[in-house]
Structure 1
Amino acid sequence: MRAWTVRGGQFGEREQQALAEGLTIAGWEETGDLSRYGSAGEIGDLLTAAYPDESQGTIDNWKHQLWRFISMDTGDFVVMPRKHLPVVAVGRLIGGYEYRAEAAPGFRHVRPVDWVRPAVERAAIGGDLRDSMGAFSTVSELSRRDAAERVRSLAETGTDPGYEGGIEPPAGIEALARDVREDGTRQLTARDLIGLWGWSRRTTDVIDQVDQELATLGLRVEPHFTEGQLDGLVTVSSQEPVAGEESSDGTAAHGPTTPRDSLSTDGAKARDLSWRIGNLPFVQEVVTVSWEAPLSSAITPMIEHDFSQLPVVDRHNVLRGVVTWEDIARAHLGKRDGTIADVLNPHPQTAREQEELFARIGDIQRHGFLIIVDTEYAVRGILTATDLAGQLRQRVEPFTLLEEVERRLRRMTHRFTTDELPQEIRSKRANGRQFTLGQYKFLLADAHCWAKLDWPYGQQDMLDRLKTVADYRNALAHWAVDAPAEDATSLAATRQLLKLLKVIDHDPRP
């Protein structure tokens, strides 16, 4: 048993007929009957003849989609996300491929389906599985993180049991492209994605390189790998068509697709590099309370965890409001013992992971927290003022420590005349410029200079410490999404070097 997503057209134009007639329908109106073709390669030859103006990359993408459509087994599950409704239709294939020559163009390739649950709420589906269903390809397989079993559960019970655990990354960049080509999507963490190019931290250089190479491969990432946490999941799929070109099912794309002016000359999408709320490791195990529960059920967790408020959710974890001590007090004063729904504040402060962090700091200061929700308004986490303070420290402290190290080194070595300096850095002093952190190694390694410094430390030990800190400084030279304090070893080495320097370099008395 396998599970597949088959979309109902770029604008949802095939959805109503699919549900009314018990079908799943694909486009590619120019191809004719596919029943006599026995491989994706043969379909590719057909597509090349039917769409002579299309690139080879587009043909390769389409042939795999059509081959998936005609080779799905009877009994497999099919999911059709509704374009303009917050639901998905879940069904089971009950017959083989059919070609309906008399049908309207774009409605001729069909498979019979029993739509057992035509309106499963999106909020009932785990975010990872929902993202897989959101691929821009018309036909894609849902193959990882127990996807088929989870779709079976959606069909039978309307609920997603979810999946706990990691996900194996592809072996390399070509393997990533192959997985997308064969399945339609590929999920992995942002860390594993940039790791395919040998990176471990999302700096501007990394972002530009990965964006450019993904565009060259005809791939896109949703959400973008800069918008969430480093270990958060992203979904890679084929690039969305540009307006005016062919869509993912061979029909002309005239709607609001990706405009060309959002792409740079090398094909990478221009992107705002601001820090996002999702970049912070906010609390994800959020204590919530059901809006149907009695008011008394909120009191115990609020006392136990010293909370001033609790998010209120429905059975799908969709946020309905917050309840505070003030709400509880008012209910008791009014001698009301109803449900939480009777007293909650229905307009709590919320944010999406993709929002700019600094644009919402004022809200966190005023209210003390933001509830993080996804596109279906399901609770993803909570970001408090305490969390924010800790994260800002992680991002600022390394730079203040490094600046202090450089300031003290500069002051302690200022006693040397230009002629006393090693040849490698003499010209820099002569031109009135400051040494970089990495250039102090020449001064510490010089026997005459080391003797004049008269430090009570081992020369080689100080050189080793300086190299570690200088390498750390170089690693932080570029803006990055991820907190520099993530390198705890280098941060500790910087603190230790500064401590040693403070012993021998005393600040002047005021």
Structure 2
Amino acid sequence: MRAWTIRGGSQGEREAIALDQGLVIAGWKEVGNLSACKSLDDVGALVKETYPDAAPGTLTSWKHQLWRFLTMDIGDLVVMPRKFQQIVAIGQLTGPYEYRADQPPGSRHVRTANWRVRDLDRAAIKGDLRDSMGAYLTISELTRREAVQRVTTLVEEGHDPGYTGAVEPPTDPDALETDVAEAGTRQLTARDLIGLWGWSRRTPGVTEMVDQELAVRNLTVEPHFNSVRLDDLVTVSSVSDESEATDEGPEPEPTLSSQSSSGDSFKKTPADQDLGWRIGTLPFARNVTTITIDGELGLAYSHMVESDFSQLPVVDRNGRARGVVTWQSIARAKLTGRGDTVAEVTDRNAPTAREHEELFSRIQDLRRHGFLVIVDADHVVTGVLTASDIADQLKLRIEPFTLLEEVELRLRRALSRFNRADLPARTKNILENNKQITLGEYRHVFQDSDLWKQLNWPFDQQNFLDRLDVVKKFRDSVAHWDVDAPEAESSAVETTRQLLRLLQLVA
């Protein structure tokens, strides 16, 4: 058994027909009968004949989607996200491909299905599976992270058991493109995505380069790899939204005009992405303890006292945020003669935020409340960001700069012990032109055997130079405040500390 996502039209126009008549419908109203197509190339020829002016990337996407529709097996699961609603329908294919020429355009490519669940709350689906269902494609396959078993459990039990295993990345950018073409989507971590092009940190230059590479391949990524932690999952798919022919012609609808079913007004193209810091890049608490709105108040007290929580998110049965319990909200309720239930002590005006939001736009809320409840597109609680998290992050980002500053200060002090005439010519030239000596330049000084002997330092010269090389490289990598905090290079930070300890003894 396999599992597929099949959308009901750019405006959900096919959803009612599909559910009422027990069908899944592919759209592509201009394309004729596909019954004679025996291969992907056959479908491609028919699509190209129908849309001679369409871009090659668009034709490739459409032929793969229609071939998926033709080759799905009876018994496969199909998921139809409902447009502008926070629910999905899940069915099971019961019949082969049919072309119904007597039906209205856009409803002719069909397969029969038994819709076993018609209104499953999207919030019942874990975020990673929900993201893979949210691809900008009409037809895509749900392949990795035990998707089939999880969709089956959603049908039978109404909840998603989730998946905690690793995700093996593609071997290179071409493999990523192939995976998206074949399945419609490909999930991988942000770290693995930039790693396909040989990078480990998300500097502004790396972000721009990867965005450009994705655009050349007609790929998009949600959420943007710059707005999540390095080890969080992102979903890569074709850049087209509702990738089928529209009433206006063969070109897919522009991404910016597509309103998402999860409530976002617009989706951004890579070129629109702000390169600033996002909430999602911070290491806040993500396995967060919550209490349901109809839960036991005593349980809320226990969680807060035992774990020393200042706040406890309140959710509905599917994990959607309904407010927060704080010691202040408990006190306010008690002072007004209430406070016997979770609902009565809940502060329903608690601040919430999405991971893609700019960090500094929410600093005032953090100062005022001391926390932000982090929610996803369906308002499901995914974490809590506290003022303490910001303080810890500030230390991580500032400490490397203070270490490097003191290292350079002490190296400069050591340099002043030499007669300028004894220094290497390039170093003298820099000093004579009143320019700053760089960490790389200090190596030329300390590798000179005569100068090293003058210092009379009780260190091994080569070991010192090796440390200096690591610190120099680290200094170059943190010259800008990148998305990723310097703890991503913890070994380099430790080497910097070690070099500083040595210099503190002698300079």
Q: TM-score, normalised by structure 2?
A: 0.93
Deviation at 1:330, TM superposition (A): 5.0
Distance in 2 of aligned mates of 1:170 and 1:458: 44
Deviation at 1:334, TM superposition (A): 6.2
Kindly indicate whether residue 456 of structure 2 is the aligned counterpart of residue 458 of structure 1: no
- The alignment partner of 1:310 has SS state of strand
The count of aligned residue pairs is 496
Match of 1:345 in 2: 347
Match of 1:249 in 2: 244
Distance in 1 of aligned mates of 2:300 and 2:145: 34
Deviates more, 1:229-238 or 1:313-322: 313-322
Deviation at 1:126, TM superposition (A): 0.6
Deviates more, 1:227-236 or 1:380-389: 380-389
Distance in 2 of aligned mates of 1:71 and 1:494: 58
Match of 2:17 in 1: 17
Match of 2:216 in 1: 216
Give the direction of change, closer, same or farther, for the CA distance of 1:268–1:361 in structure 2 (3 Å limit).
Answer: closer
For residues 306-385 of structure 1, the aligned pairs below 5 Å read: 306-331=308-333, 338-385=340-387
Which amino acid is 2:415 matched to?
Answer: T
Once the two structures are superposed, residues 292-350 of structure 1 have per-residue CA deviations (whole angstroms, 9 ceiling, x without a partner) of 11322211111101112211111111111111223334555666574311321111111
Deviates more, 1:324-333 or 1:286-295: 324-333
- The alignment partner of 1:326 has SS state of helix
Alignment partner for residue 423 of structure 1, among 422, 425, 444? 425
Distance in 2 of aligned mates of 1:157 and 1:323: 30
Which amino acid is 1:139 matched to?
Answer: I
For residues 94-109 of structure 1, the aligned pairs below 5 Å read: 94-109=94-109
Once the two structures are superposed, residues 364-408 of structure 1 have per-residue CA deviations (whole angstroms, 9 ceiling, x without a partner) of 222121111101111101111111111111111111211111122
For residues 122-133 of structure 1, the aligned pairs below 5 Å read: 122-133=122-133
Kindly indicate whether residue 36 of structure 2 is the aligned counterpart of residue 39 of structure 1: no
Note the residue ranges of structure 2 that are not aligned, 5 or more in a row.
258-265
For residues 65-104 of structure 1, the aligned pairs below 5 Å read: 65-104=65-104
Match of 1:508 in 2: none
- Report percent identity of matched pairs: 55
Distance in 1 of aligned mates of 2:414 and 2:427: 16
Deviation at 1:270, TM superposition (A): 4.4
Give the direction of change, closer, same or farther, for the CA distance of 1:76–1:116 in structure 2 (3 Å limit).
Answer: same
Give the direction of change, closer, same or farther, for the CA distance of 1:46–1:280 in structure 2 (3 Å limit).
Answer: same
Match of 1:244 in 2: none
Match of 2:263 in 1: none
For residues 272-283 of structure 1, the aligned pairs below 5 Å read: 272-283=274-285
Deviates more, 1:192-201 or 1:423-432: 423-432
Which amino acid is 2:297 matched to?
Answer: L
The question of whether the paired residues in 2 share the 8 Å contact of 1:227 and 1:278 is answered with: yes
Match of 2:306 in 1: 304
Deviates more, 1:98-107 or 1:320-329: 320-329
Which amino acid is 2:72 matched to?
Answer: M
Deviates more, 1:23-32 or 1:131-140: 23-32
Distance in 1 of aligned mates of 2:192 and 2:505: 43
The question of whether the paired residues in 2 share the 8 Å contact of 1:24 and 1:112 is answered with: yes
Match of 2:261 in 1: none
- The alignment partner of 1:269 has SS state of helix
Once the two structures are superposed, residues 414-462 of structure 1 have per-residue CA deviations (whole angstroms, 9 ceiling, x without a partner) of 3444432112322212211111111101111123322333333332232
Give the direction of change, closer, same or farther, for the CA distance of 1:477–1:160 in structure 2 (3 Å limit).
Answer: same
The question of whether the paired residues in 2 share the 8 Å contact of 1:12 and 1:83 is answered with: yes
Which amino acid is 1:307 matched to?
Answer: F
The question of whether the paired residues in 2 share the 8 Å contact of 1:240 and 1:258 is answered with: no
Deviation at 1:54, TM superposition (A): 1.3
- The alignment partner of 2:181 has SS state of helix
Deviates more, 1:400-409 or 1:214-223: 400-409
Note the residue ranges of structure 1 that are not aligned, 5 or more in a row.
242-246, 506-510
The question of whether the paired residues in 2 share the 8 Å contact of 1:22 and 1:113 is answered with: yes
The question of whether the paired residues in 2 share the 8 Å contact of 1:418 and 1:430 is answered with: no
Give the direction of change, closer, same or farther, for the CA distance of 1:268–1:365 in structure 2 (3 Å limit).
Answer: closer
The question of whether the paired residues in 1 share the 8 Å contact of 2:245 and 2:252 is answered with: no
Once the two structures are superposed, residues 86-112 of structure 1 have per-residue CA deviations (whole angstroms, 9 ceiling, x without a partner) of 111111111111111122222211111
Give the direction of change, closer, same or farther, for the CA distance of 1:95–1:402 in structure 2 (3 Å limit).
Answer: same
Q: TM-score, normalised by structure 1?
A: 0.93
Match of 2:471 in 1: 469
Match of 2:262 in 1: none
Which amino acid is 1:249 matched to?
Answer: E
Distance in 2 of aligned mates of 1:479 and 1:391: 12
Match of 1:491 in 2: 493
Which amino acid is 1:273 matched to?
Answer: L
Which amino acid is 1:351 matched to?
Answer: A
The question of whether the paired residues in 1 share the 8 Å contact of 2:240 and 2:252 is answered with: no
Once the two structures are superposed, residues 489-508 of structure 1 have per-residue CA deviations (whole angstroms, 9 ceiling, x without a partner) of 11111112122222223xxx
Alignment partner for residue 288 of structure 1, among 287, 290, 311? 290
Match of 1:501 in 2: 503
Deviates more, 1:126-135 or 1:51-60: 51-60
Distance in 2 of aligned mates of 1:279 and 1:397: 18
Deviates more, 1:250-259 or 1:137-146: 250-259
